[in-house]
Homo-oligomer: A and B are copies of this chain.
Amino acid sequence: MSVVVRNVERVQRGVIEAFASLGVATIHEAQRRTGLMAPYMRPIYSGAHIAGSAVTVSVPPADNWMIHVAVEQCQPGDILVVAPTSACDCGYFGDLLASSLQSRGVLGLIIEAGVRDVRSLTDMRFPVWSRYISAQGTVKATLGSVNVPLVCAGALVNPGDLVVADDDGVCVVPRSQTASVLASAKAREQKEAAVRARLAQGELGLDLYEMREALAAKGLTYRDREDH
């Protein structure tokens, strides 16, 4: 039952590049608020922003053997997504594995567990979004699987899905929906740029979004402090 699936289809390189300038919040909105991982997934250093194809790794608690197996399946532009089969705060990953992944062009790691050597990883500029930071090591005793569907931090990830991560968190876009999400995100971004300019000049969202009528209809009332 432990399997490594090879030759998973990836998101097209051009599509990935187009996503690289889009933030997680924008993409998450553009795909109707689905695919977001839980907010406890935090970057080990701020400012990183990556987009790539998921290579998924289902690992036993406290056992990182399958990450070693997964390295071989990675291609340039991939992002490793690791989820333990039950909650675990061990440090599954450090600078040795990062060296290996970086040499293969892997963009970063998403792991719902712990990571270590965070100083070295920061110096190497190998970004990681993890639930924990921990020096606690793992064993290599039990199998898991590579490139199977899994749930990571509450989000379903299929191998080859697009993963985007920045300081706001991590979002997964199903491979079949990347084109439509991209179009929607770009449109959203353009619209927001225009709105931002107007808001920055002092125009009120209440007016810009024409909210006043709906608020009044719901029963919102205003009163001055004096009658309070």
Q: List residues of chain A with CB under 8 Å of any chain B CB.
A: 1-9, 23-25, 28-29, 32-34, 36, 38-39, 42, 45-47, 49, 60-63, 65, 68-69, 71-72, 85-91, 94-97, 99-100, 102-104, 114, 116-120, 122, 132-137, 139-143, 147, 149, 151, 154-156, 166-169, 171, 192, 195-196, 199-202, 204-206, 209, 211, 215, 218-226, 228
Contact = CB atoms under 8 A, between A and B. Distances in A.
Contact of A225 (B7, B87, B117, B204): B7
Contacts of A100: 199-200, 204-205
Contact of A2 (B171, B201, B218, B226): B218
B88 A136 contact: no
Contacts of A137: 25, 28-29, 33
Nearest to A42: B133
Nearest to A73: B222
Given A96-B192, A96-B195, A119-B166, 12 more contacts: A24-B116, A25-B94, A25-B135, A25-B137, A33-B85, A34-B85, A39-B89, A46-B119, A62-B62, A69-B206, A85-B136, A96-B196
A193 B68 CA distance: 18
Number of this chain's copies in the complex = 6
Contact of A202 (B103, B122, B204): B103
Given A25-B135, A28-B135, A136-B86, A168 B116 contact: yes
Contacts of A200: 99-100, 102-103
A39 to B, nearest CB: 4
Given A219-B2, A220-B2, A28 B136 contact: yes
Contact of A143 (B96, B168, B195, B218): B218
Contacts of A33: 85, 136-137
